Amino acid sequence: MNSARVFEVVEVAEKAAIASAAFNGRGDKVAADQAATTAMRDAFNAMNFSGRVVIGEGERDEAPMLFIGEELGRGGEEIDIAVDPLEGTNLCAANAANALCTIAIAPRGALLFAPDTYMQKIAAGPQARDAIDIDAPVADNIHHVAESLGKPVSEMCVCVLERERHTKLIADIRKTGARIRLIGDGDVYGALATALPHTGIDLYMGSGGAPEGVLACCALKAVGGAFMGRLRFDLDVHGKEKRERALKTAQLDLDAPLTMDMLVRSDDAAFIASGVTHGELLDGVRFDETSVTTSSILMRACDHSVRFITTQHQRS
């Protein structure tokens, strides 16, 4: 994918962030998500490419826009797209930190068609890329990552989604003496934060959405980090039906550990996020009388580059 195409997608994320930021703190997560989704879809459809949504807002009959399998664009280069138009809808509604508009793109066929179910995940930054194993005990993973980072376990910080299903995981982490950073929403950020030193997060563990797992994997692949996953249909009330659908589309062992190269099968992939609310990773959208300012991150696997992009948009 050429750089011009990638920067076009940055603009897509910026437009979605501006649209959803109008709802920051207004308590309406549905309207915020709809605004981001509509802006993102309209922007993609204005591009000269052939985009296919492999990760989106659910199946065709569940979401009117950006559904899995939807074709976007005016025609041209064939690109796979993974999106979470507003990652952290509750965060936006409450004007809490780290709501993001997220997109991953790669050549056609490179991104896993991830079923809309749960995924067990473990993620770490580049220094610990060989230290994690999703099948290993919690304590072993923490000790191995601590050793890779050259720090005592007592200084380790593990990020976990605050969910009832993680009660045992949280207890197991605390038994090691490591610290925990609990987050209410936004596990793309949680996994990505392991590769960014200023966040203070060393390891991400727990179960969240499988689509968000592919997005996070794309970002970590770009910076040489580590990610492993495993689909968890057993955590989903509709898991049996979703498993049957996944058997037709996923083309992989649904019970096996998923490596980075299984989730993102190309180095010609990019991850883009634009901040909606202010957070540790990105500033949120800022409005003033004459302009709107966005803050975005672009991560590319082809050259392991990370760009922070601040754009000032004139208000019409």
Q: Quote the pLDDT of residue 211.
A: 86
Q: Quote the pLDDT of residue 250.
A: 67
Q: Quote the pLDDT of residue 60.
A: 44
Q: Quote the pLDDT of residue 62.
A: 52
pLDDT-flagged residues of the chain (< 50): 60-61, 63
Q: Quote the pLDDT of residue 64.
A: 53
Rg (CA), the chain: 18
Span between the terminal Cα atoms of the chain, in Å: 32
Residue whose tokens read 């580049």: 126
Q: Quote the pLDDT of residue 316.
A: 73
Q: What is the pLDDT of residues 85-119, one digit of tens each?
A: 999 999 999 999 999 999 999 999 999 877 778 99
Q: Quote the pLDDT of residue 253.
A: 86
Tell me the average pLDDT of the chain.
92
Distance, in Å, from the CA atom of 306 to the CA atom of 316, rounded to the nearest integer, reads 31
Q: Measuring CA to CA, which residue among 48, 256, 28, 32 is closest to residue 134? A: 256
Q: Quote the pLDDT of residue 61.
A: 44
